Chain A
Amino acid sequence: MDAANLAATLATHSARVMRWKPWELAVWALIWAAPFAAPQHAALINEIAILALFAISLDLILGYAGIVSLGHAAFFGVGAYAAALLAKHLHPDPLLGLAFGAAVGAVLGALTSPMIVRGSDLTRLMVTMGVALVLLELANKFDGLTGGADGLQGVVMGPLLGVFEFDLAARTASVYSLAVLFVAFVLLRRLVHTPFGMSLKALRDNRLRVAAIGLSVQGRLAVVYTLAAGLAGAAGALLAQTTGFASLDVLEFHRSADVMLALVIGGAGWLWGGLIGAIAFKLMHDLISAITPQYWTFWIGLILVLLMLVGRERLFSPRQWFKRGGTT
């Protein structure tokens, strides 16, 4: 099999995989219908879309590059602050702010990526967490710029595309966030099926082998990390723009933990995981905290423990409950 032949085979293979399946189209149609069918929940839909984008970006480094991170909020947070500051001091256009937030996130990702290519899982966990903590302290210290613990006030967004004002019912916000999520999803879907994306999957499964083929492991990891950081920055920018402020909370540990939970509920390592997880996580949160506002974390914790102990596919498919063993 010569190279040209191989390339052709690969191309047809990707084309086959690339084709949208009916259920994918159906789910997206449902998602797009949501803000119009349930306008009273527009604000929640907006939050879900933002969390989904954030979770998908985490999935890139966790599901595809196999990096365990508990500090992904670092990028989300700088994106949020970048977008908010831009709107406050320079220009109120949302799309400009979105691009700026994503860019700042990506730059931070590129800068910190050398830190995560070495060491064990524990080391990575600690370094990612450490970076987020240092940023949190920085944001708290430079309160002249960030507003410190009181949050950054006075962020007034201009209308989207110069037409759609951000209304109180959050309709504009929800459609805007969904659109950004959709674009990111389509782009990533393409990326995952390129040769580069294939090599990422190989990287996840067997790092040594990828190195042996002669591909640069470190370079690839750095690229993925930067890309993921940029997407997380975009998610942060969306949050800052649709809520009209940014506070230290965007850098807190619970952000990193929540997005990890959402991703795990949906399943890491496939693009739909972040999306489905975000929807499930937010709806569960809303429902459980409506029933028991003080102790909802207990149930989230229980779900997580069961999920990890039993394994996802056994938890969600009754046919497997009665089989012994299982491959998780």
Chain B
Amino acid sequence: MLTLLFDGIAYGMLLFVLALGLAVTMGLMNFINLAHGAFAMAGGYVLVLLMQRGGWPFLAALPVCFLVPALLGAALERTVYRPMYRKPHLDQVLFSIGLTFMAVAAVDFAMGSSQQNLQLPDWLRQRWEFGSGAAMLGVGAYRLFIVVVCVALALGLQALLTRTRFGSRLRAAVDDPTVAAGLGIPVNRVFLLTFAVGSGLAGLGGALGADILGLDPSFPLKFMVYFLIVCAVGGTQSITGPLLAALLLGIADVFGKYYLPKLGGFIVYTLMIVILLWRPQGLFTREAR
């Protein structure tokens, strides 16, 4: 029971980091970027390449998994994403699906279509168990590591948004880009940075999740739905919304599969539809703006 709760939290946290960049892009630039999963996949493949072919240690490779997708995101933002901001949502959806297709085929071409396997260091493969029976808590080192990293990221981002000059500029740009630009805030640069950070986070999430979620070229399409659910249910106006939504999703998924295996895939989707019918703007948003 406690073990399940812990697993659900770890899974939810992973989803949170994966989806956070998407939530920010949606909230800030009002852009639906379905190619978000491609950046996550990039992060995962960077990790695989560094560890398998470069022989890097796991911890040293993680920052690179953030950096490479972040730079990639920045480059794409400058070149192809920016002209798409003013276009209707449908165009954005199709454009980003097109990008996803290209990424899937390109990775398939470069790395092959089979699942990639990571060899985690031994200290992340341990497991501790406390108590017994229903109250037993089993903690896998790697999942604990994920939870710790994700909590640290969430706190760091929250601080970044509320305490720094960049954060206040970002919030201003979200609330009203026109006025913000009028006040001399470099909106374009803020957007660029945000997009890069969001893509970097996705890459980090993809790297962290490669071991749990699996990694193959179809990754962006497989998990696209999950990212979108987190954003739709959590709303895109704060960090806490997606965080709670991701935890809810992770825990519901794990518990559902344990206690109601017959319902398998329904739980998450049905829950999402019900929530969206009840609160079309998302569960954790302030009343309609």
Given known contacts A261-B94, A305-B80, A308-B84, A127 and B281 CB-to-CB distance under 8 angstroms: no
CB of A297 to closest CB in B, whole Å: 5
Contact of A304 among B97, B221, B225, B231 (CB under 8 A): B97
Check A127 against B276 for contact (C-beta < 8 Å).
yes
Cβ-Cβ contact count across A and B, 8 Å cutoff: 126
CB of B20 to closest CB in A, whole Å: 16
Check A303 against B98 for contact (C-beta < 8 Å).
yes
Q: Mark A252-294, 1 if CB is under 8 A from B, else 0.
A: 0100010011001000100000000000000000000000001
Q: Which residues of A contact B264 (CB under 8 A)?
A: 137, 141
A72 to B103, CA, bound (A): 24
Given known contacts A134-B270, A304-B95, A309-B80, A298 and B101 CB-to-CB distance under 8 angstroms: yes
Interface size class of B (residues with CB under 8 A): 35 or more
Check A298 against B106 for contact (C-beta < 8 Å).
yes
B269 contacts partner chain A, Cβ-Cβ < 8 Å = yes
Check A122 against B94 for contact (C-beta < 8 Å).
no
- Among the stretches B67-75, B85-93, B116-124, B128-136, the one at the interface with A is B85-93
Check A301 against B102 for contact (C-beta < 8 Å).
yes
Interface residues of B in 263-289 (CB under 8 A from A): 264-266, 269-270, 272-273, 276-277, 280-281
Q: Which residues of B contact A297 (CB under 8 A)?
A: 101-102, 104-105
Q: Which residues of A contact B108 (CB under 8 A)?
A: 294-295
Check A126 against B84 for contact (C-beta < 8 Å).
no
Given known contacts A120-B281, A309-B95, A126 and B229 CB-to-CB distance under 8 angstroms: yes
Contact of A301 among B98, B109, B225, B277 (CB under 8 A): B98
A68 to B270, CA, bound (A): 20
CB of A238 to closest CB in B, whole Å: 26
CB of B110 to closest CB in A, whole Å: 11
Q: Which residues of A contact B46 (CB under 8 A)?
A: none
A130 contacts partner chain B, Cβ-Cβ < 8 Å = yes
7 nearest interchain CB pairs? A301-B101, A304-B98, A119-B280, A298-B105, A308-B95, A301-B102, A305-B98
Check B273 against A127 for contact (C-beta < 8 Å).
yes
Q: Which residues of A contact B87 (CB under 8 A)?
A: 308, 328
Describe B's contact surface by its main secondary structure: helix
Q: Which residues of B contact A70 (CB under 8 A)?
A: 93
A253 to B97, CA, bound (A): 12
B184 contacts partner chain A, Cβ-Cβ < 8 Å = no
Check A126 against B98 for contact (C-beta < 8 Å).
no
B199 contacts partner chain A, Cβ-Cβ < 8 Å = no
B141 contacts partner chain A, Cβ-Cβ < 8 Å = no
B232 contacts partner chain A, Cβ-Cβ < 8 Å = yes
Check B26 against A122 for contact (C-beta < 8 Å).
yes
Name A residues whose Cβ lies closer than 8 Å to a Cβ of B.
62, 68, 70, 115, 118-123, 125-127, 129-131, 133-134, 137-138, 141, 253, 257, 260-261, 264, 268, 294-298, 300-305, 307-309, 328
CB of A218 to closest CB in B, whole Å: 14
Contact of B277 among A68, A127, A298 (CB under 8 A): A127
Given known contacts A134-B270, A294-B108, A328-B87, A304 and B93 CB-to-CB distance under 8 angstroms: no
Check B97 against A257 for contact (C-beta < 8 Å).
yes
Check A121 against B89 for contact (C-beta < 8 Å).
yes
B83 contacts partner chain A, Cβ-Cβ < 8 Å = yes
Q: Which residues of B contact A129 (CB under 8 A)?
A: 225, 228
A62 to B89, CA, bound (A): 12
In the complex, besides A70-B93, A134-B273, A303-B98, 12 extra interface pairs with C-beta distance below 8 angstroms are A68-B89, A115-B276, A121-B90, A122-B228, A122-B231, A123-B276, A126-B228, A141-B262, A301-B97, A301-B101, A302-B102, A309-B95
Contact of B83 among A295, A303, A309 (CB under 8 A): A309
Q: Which residues of A contact B84 (CB under 8 A)?
A: 308-309
Check B100 against A301 for contact (C-beta < 8 Å).
yes
Given known contacts A68-B90, A120-B281, A304-B95, A126 and B272 CB-to-CB distance under 8 angstroms: yes
Q: Show 13 residue pairs from A and B whose CB-CB distance is below 8 angstroms, ordered by the A residue.
A: A68-B93, A119-B280, A119-B281, A122-B89, A130-B276, A131-B273, A295-B108, A296-B105, A301-B98, A301-B104, A304-B95, A304-B97, A305-B95
A300 to B91, CA, bound (A): 15
B51 contacts partner chain A, Cβ-Cβ < 8 Å = no
CB of B90 to closest CB in A, whole Å: 5
B40 contacts partner chain A, Cβ-Cβ < 8 Å = no
A268 to B98, CA, bound (A): 17
Q: Mark B225-248, 1 if CB is under 8 A from A, else 0.
A: 100110110000000000000000
A169 to B83, CA, bound (A): 47
Given known contacts A120-B280, A123-B276, A126-B276, A253 and B221 CB-to-CB distance under 8 angstroms: yes
Closest B residue to A294 by beta carbon equals B108
